Amino acid sequence: MTTTLAALFEHNRWANERLLDACRGLTEEQLATSVPGTYGALGATLAHIASGDVFYALLLTGRKPATAWQQDDPFPGVDELLDVVRESGARLQAAAESMPGDATVERDPGELIPARVILVQAINHATEHRAHATTILTQLGITPPAIDGWEHGGIPG
């Protein structure tokens, strides 16, 4: 049985994959585009989304991704980031399904944080930066993919 929290992480992974897939074939110039009020260049924003997922999955599971690209590396290209978000997204979803509500995680030596706070932050972080990326795509004249909950659920919005 999928919990509501696990469903949020299923959507998170799906939305990250869909956004990255929509960025396939963009030019280096397009990936270098930034818009005021967003995180930075589109490519850097996509890498930051993946980097965040890697960080939160590492906190919750203690494991780094098996991909060559690691957190905070420069933009490696869409295909490599797709591998990263698929793996880290699956780990985040598994953590959401299995983590007891009162679990704590050591972020820094001696600093215990409730796991639920990390899970909330992971969703918030990805959602915020996906909005930045879709804003940049729109400013480039590219229709961003539909990545909202309605689309994910197959329900007309």
What DSSP string runs through 84-111?
Answer: HHHHHHHHHHHHHHH--TT-EEEEETTE
Mean pLDDT of all residues in the chain?
A: 93
Q: How confident is the model at residue 2 (pLDDT cuts 50, 70, 90)?
A: low
- How many residues would you count in the chain? 157
> Average pLDDT, stretch 77-104?
93
Q: How confident is the model at residue 1 (pLDDT cuts 50, 70, 90)?
A: very low
Q: Could you give the CA distance from residue 50 to residue 104 in angstroms, rounded to a whole number?
A: 23
**Percentage of the chain surpassing pLDDT 90?**
82
Q: Would you say residue 72 has pLDDT above 80? A: no
**Percentage of the chain surpassing pLDDT 70?**
97
Furthest-apart CA pair in the chain: how many Å?
A: 48
pLDDT of residue 100: 87
Q: Cα–chain-centroid distance for residue 34? A: 19
Tens of pLDDT along 4-14? 888 999 999 99
DSSP state of 155: -
Distances (CA, A) of 143 to 19, 43, 101: 11, 17, 39
Tens of pLDDT along 20-70? 999 999 999 999 999 999 999 999 999 999 999 999 999 999 988 787 776
Tens of pLDDT along 109-133? 999 999 999 999 999 999 999 999 9
pLDDT of residue 71: 67
Stronger pLDDT, 53 or 2, i.e. the higher one = 53
What domains can be seen in the chain, in order of their start residue? 4-153 (1.20.120.450)
